[in-house]
Amino acid sequence: MSRSVIGAPKLELDTPALCLDVEVVQANIQRMANFCGRASVHARPHAKTHKSPMIAQMQLAAGAIGITCAKLGEAEVMAAAGIRDILIANQIVGPAKIARLVNLAGYSDVMVAVEDAANAADLSAAAQAAGVRLRALIEINIGMNRCGTAPGQPTLDLALRMADLPGLRFEGVMGYEGHTVMLPDPQLRRDKTEESLKLLTDTADLLRSRGLPVGIVSSGGTGTHFITGVHPGITELQVGSYATMDSQYRETVGIDFAYGLTVLATVISTREDCAVCDAGLKTLTRDFGLPKVLAPAGWEMTGLSEEHGQMRRLDGPPLRRGDKVELVPNHGCTTINLHDEYHVIRRGVLAAVWPIAARGKVY
């Protein structure tokens, strides 16, 4: 339950508070939708970032064809909110999870990533037993070396086997250029991304040459959307962080979507040109470094412990105990997963409190 009152000014919120500027988020969503329209590519935004059916519905309203999830639990939350077209960009393995997946397919148009023939056979058998036909994509390893089949013949071999499985409906292929999305050098990022995407689209063409219908070629991240979105043969983008944005993408990678997500914290201690706030590692993650101090300007984070954030004054105003500071997470995806709710801000005041419904759905 929220500790803050609807209509309260933002700076009067109890802290730490995860704040979502809904007008900024809406503008970011529309900006990506406009890009996809110009590039003639579909958006299938990744809900692993925001974990919120409310934000997913905003993305669908702006023209997204569906939603991407990282985990089955996230997909179940999205389907329960009425979202039908869902890609689980991950492998679902084992009887318990496969049973949940085919149940989900009974009331949604869920798709799942596959990289292995035995797993494909298990999925098909379970789908048949449940009386459904499960949509499936082959995940191709295009350089991240995490999951996926090798490009070319190994993917073709798997696709041919999947096409004969009665419980599956083969939809196409996906590949994630996650090894390139955060390269700070723009030309290197472009070169490496194009090289990776060619593996994906060449493999899609190979499958088509053997009579396999490849309707979907899915890829893309926030850091490469402007490259992937115009690459010939890519049909949809799995962009995520753009909607809320974080300091790693904006400050390090140079992706200039606006900050829609911040953490409001309170100064609890001061000493000379140092201050301590009430937001630590249980409020913010430091996957790619420390959070950015957005306000007041002229301060920087120097450290995080469990419940404390340490800051140092550069050329900003002095801080006093009880002052509020606004911090931008270095990685929105993992920070959001620490919180139960968004404090939704509109024009400087608390407009709503949204539960982060898929928070913790890592199973």
Asked if residue 89 belongs to a domain, the reply is yes
> Which pLDDT value is given to residue 4?
74
Together in a domain, 45 and 148: yes
> Which pLDDT value is given to residue 246?
98
Together in a domain, 230 and 275: no
Under DSSP, the state recorded for 315 is S
Asked if residue 282 belongs to a domain, the reply is yes
* Residue where a domain stops, chosen among 245, 279, 303: 245
Asked if residue 35 belongs to a domain, the reply is no
Domain region containing 149: 41-245
* Residue where a domain stops, chosen among 245, 270, 303: 245
Helices (H), 81-185: 95-105, 117-130, 153-163
Distance of alpha carbon 177 from alpha carbon 158, whole angstroms: 21
φ and ψ of 136, to 5 deg: -145, 145
Tokens standing for residue 298: 């002229």
pLDDT tens for the chain, residues 1 to 363:
556 799 999 999 999 999 999 999 999 999 999 999 999 999 999 999 999 999 999 999 999 999 999 999 999 999 999 999 999 999 999 999 999 999 999 999 999 999 999 999 999 999 999 999 999 999 999 999 999 999 999 999 999 999 999 999 999 999 999 999 999 999 999 999 999 999 999 999 999 999 999 999 999 999 999 999 999 999 999 999 999 999 999 999 999 999 999 999 999 999 999 999 999 999 999 999 999 999 999 999 999 999 999 999 999 999 999 999 999 999 999 999 999 999 999 999 999 999 999 999 999
Least Cα distance to 90 among 136, 151, 150, 134 occurs for: 136
Ramachandran bin of 330, using left for φ above 0, alpha for ψ from -120 to 50, beta for the remaining angles: alpha
* CA-CA-CA-CA torsion sign (16, 22, 27, 32): positive
Please, what is the end-to-end C-alpha distance for the chain in angstroms? Answer: 24
Q: What is the domain-level CATH number for residue 336?
A: 2.40.37.20
Bridge partners (DSSP) of residue 91 are 113
Number of domains comprising the chain:
2
> Which pLDDT value is given to residue 2?
57
Gyration radius (Cα) of the chain, Å: 22
Distance of alpha carbon 309 from alpha carbon 163, whole angstroms: 54
Q: Are 282 and 334 in contact (CB under 8 A)?
A: no
Asked if residue 5 belongs to a domain, the reply is no
Least Cα distance to 237 among 39, 48, 27 occurs for: 39
Q: Are 32 and 242 in contact (CB under 8 A)?
A: yes
Distance of alpha carbon 192 from alpha carbon 206, whole angstroms: 22
Asked if residue 266 belongs to a domain, the reply is yes
Q: What is the domain-level CATH number for residue 138?
A: 3.20.20.10
Least Cα distance to 158 among 146, 149, 145, 147 occurs for: 149
